[in-house]
Amino acid sequence: MENCVFCKIMAGEIPSQTVYEDDEMVIFRDAAPIAPVHLLCVPREHFAHLDEMDDRRAALLGRMFLKIAALQNQLGLEGGYRLVINQGENAGQTVQHLHIHILGGKTLPWG
Ligand code: AMP
């Protein structure tokens, strides 16, 4: 989608440090990491919110979770990790393209 930073990354118009990609998702490093490992798992299909999901998109999201779990050691997440999906203004969502934050590499504070 025009003016979407993640769509531009996936189109190769903005550089990124991509660590995994296939025909339906990309995992790249967050530009402003808040943990030693901070990655974003992003579907190639543009949609912003969970309430825009149908069964097909839900299956895609499921495959994203499966892929993260399969790659955890390769991504430096051996000690455990946290997944975050910010939704809307109160959560501080700044990019309106659904994405899963993958956080790890240290013991993460809670709250
Ligand atoms: P959210 O606030 O949940 O929408 O998260 C958006 C994330 O995208 C933030 O953590 C940003 O640091 C990250 N981000 C924004 N632009 C880029 C970019 N060009 N490359 C990598 N990460 C980015």
- Cβ–ligand 1 distance for 5 under 6 Å, the answer yes
Residues of the chain with pLDDT > 70: what percent? 100
Segment 49-87, tens digit of pLDDT: 999 999 999 999 999 999 999 999 999 999 999 999 999
Report the domain count for the chain.
Answer: 1
Cβ–ligand 1 distance for 4 under 6 Å, the answer no
Q: What CATH number should be reported for the domain holding residue 28? A: 3.30.428.10
In this predicted structure, the answer to whether residue 2 has a pLDDT above a threshold of 90 is no
47-4-2-11 Cα dihedral, nearest 10 degrees:
-100
Give mean pLDDT, residues 90-104. Answer: 98
- Return the ligand 1 atom nearest residue 8 CA: 19
Task: Give, for 55, the enclosing helix (H) or strand (E).
Answer: helix 55-71
Tell me the pLDDT band of 8, cut-offs 50, 70 and 90.
Answer: very high
Per the domain annotation, does 65 fall within a domain? yes
Q: How far is the CA of 30 from the centre of ligand 1 (A)?
A: 6
* 111 domain residue, yes or no: no
CA 31 – ligand 1 centroid, Å: 6
The range of the structural domain enclosing residue 69 comes to 5-104
